[in-house]
C-alpha cells in the first residue's frame, strides 16, 4: 500500500534551512496498522502530509497503492487524495449545528454528490464505527469518544483504502482513547490500512508494529506490547 524510500523534506526559516526528514523509508502492506512515535517537532505530521498527498517531498520516492503521485498536477493530486486517503486528527473539527450524519456527509457535499445516495453512504460509514443510533445527535450531545468516531466515519465516507490518524486519542481520556483504537483495529480487519502518529507508547503498542521517528528517519520496530 505504502512504499516510501529515502524521503527528504526541509523547511526554510529566514536564511536557515531546517531538515525534517533526512532519508526516511517506510513500507506498509494493505490491511496493516502501523504506528509512528516521536516527540513534538520530530516530523510526524510532515510524514503524514507526504503520505496523504498534502505535501511533496524534496527527494526520495513514494508510491501509494503502486502508483507514483501526480505531484505536479494539483487537480489530479486532489482527486487521488480524495479517492484513496482519509484523515483523522486530534481535534474533531465537527460542525456544531450539524448532526452526526450531516457531519459525515460533508465530504460528499463538497464533491457534489447525489443526495439520497450520499445519505446511504454516510449511514454505512456511521455503522462501521458503531454509531448508527447517534446519527441525528449534535456534537454537543455526544461524548468525546463518540465525536472522534464521527470524525472517523467522515474519513471513511469516500471509502478510502488508507486512513492517516494524527494523534487521534490525544484529547480523549483513556477509556475513550481505547474505543478509538479498537475502531481503527476493526477497520484494518476489514482491509483498510491505518498509519497513526502518536507520542504515547501505550497507543503505539496497539498497532501491528511501531516505529520511532528520530533524526528525520524511522528506527526501532516493535510489535504489539513490544
Using one digit for the tens of pLDDT, what is the confidence trace for 168-191?
998 888 999 999 999 999 999 999
The 217-222 sheet, strands edge to edge: 85-89, 162-166, 193-198, 33-37, 209-214, 217-222
Mean per-residue pLDDT for 155-176? 91
CB-based contact 161:192 (threshold 8 Å): yes
| pTM score | 0.89
Rounded CA separation 79/226 (Å): 38
The answer for residues whose C-beta is within 8 angstroms of residue 194's C-beta and 6 or more apart is: 32, 33, 34, 162, 163, 164, 165, 184, 187, 188, 207
Rounded CA separation 3/143 (Å): 37
Is the confidence at residue 107, as pLDDT, over 90?
A: no
Pairing of strands 85-89, 16-28: unpaired
Is the confidence at residue 226, as pLDDT, over 90?
A: no
Instruction: Characterise 179 by phi-psi region: left (phi > 0), alpha (psi -120 to 50), beta (else).
Output: alpha
Rounded CA separation 218/216 (Å): 7
Task: Using CB atoms within 10 Å of the CB of residue 50, give its burial: 0 to 12 exposed, 13 to 18 middle, 19+ buried.
Answer: buried
Mean per-residue pLDDT for 197-224? 86
Nearest to 165 by CA among 197, 189, 205: 197
Rounded CA separation 137/103 (Å): 10
Nearest to 162 by CA among 65, 39, 46: 65
What share of the chain in percent tops pLDDT 70?
A: 94
Q: How confident is the model at residue 111 (pLDDT cuts 50, 70, 90)?
A: low
Backbone angles phi, psi at 217, to 5 degrees: -135, 165
Rounded CA separation 166/3 (Å): 19
Q: How confident is the model at residue 53 (pLDDT cuts 50, 70, 90)?
A: very high
Backbone angles phi, psi at 76, to 5 degrees: -65, -35
Rounded CA separation 102/196 (Å): 26
CB-based contact 65:161 (threshold 8 Å): yes
Task: Using CB atoms within 10 Å of the CB of residue 133, give its burial: 0 to 12 exposed, 13 to 18 middle, 19+ buried.
Answer: exposed
Ordered by where they begin, the domains of the chain are 2-93+160-222 (3.40.50.300)
Amino acid at each position: 500500500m505504502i512504499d516510501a524510500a529515502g524521503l527528504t523534506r526541509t523547511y526554510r526559516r529566514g536564511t536557515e534551512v531546517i531538515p525534517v526528514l533526512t532519508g526516511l523509508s517506510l513500507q506498509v502492506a494493505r490491511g496493516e496498522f502501523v504506528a509512528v512515535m516521536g516527540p513534538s517537532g520530530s516530523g510526524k505530521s510532515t510524514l503524514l502530509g507526504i503520505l496523504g498527498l498534502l505535501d511533496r517531498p524534496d527527494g526520495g520516492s513514494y508510491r501509494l497503492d503502486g502508483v507514483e503521485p501526480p505531484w505536479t498536477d494539483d487537480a489530479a493530486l486532489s482527486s487521488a487524495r480524495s479517492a484513496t486517503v482519509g484523515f483523522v486528527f486530534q481535534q474533531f473539527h465537527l460542525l456544531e449545528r450539524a448532526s452526526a450524519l450531516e457531519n459525515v456527509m460533508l465530504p460528499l457535499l463538497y464533491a457534489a454528490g447525489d443526495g439520497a445516495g450520499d445519505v446511504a453512504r454516510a449511514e454505512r460509514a456511521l455503522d462501521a464505527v458503531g454509531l448508527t443510533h447517534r446519527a441525528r445527535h449534535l456534537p454537543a450531545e455526544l461524548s468525546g469518544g463518540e465525536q472522534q468516531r464521527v470524525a472517523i466515519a467522515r474519513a471513511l465516507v469516500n471509502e478510502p483504502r488508507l486512513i492517516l490518524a494524527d494523534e487521534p486519542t490525544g484529547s480523549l481520556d483513556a477509556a475513550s482513547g481505547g474505543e478509538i483504537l479498537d475502531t481503527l483495529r476493526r477497520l484494518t480487519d476489514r482491509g483498510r490500512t491505518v498509519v497513526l502518529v502518536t507520542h504515547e507508547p501505550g497507543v503505539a503498542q496497539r498497532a501491528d508494529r511501531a516505529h520511532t521517528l528520530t533524526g528525520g528517519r524511522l528506527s526501532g520496530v516493535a510489535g504489539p506490547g513490544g
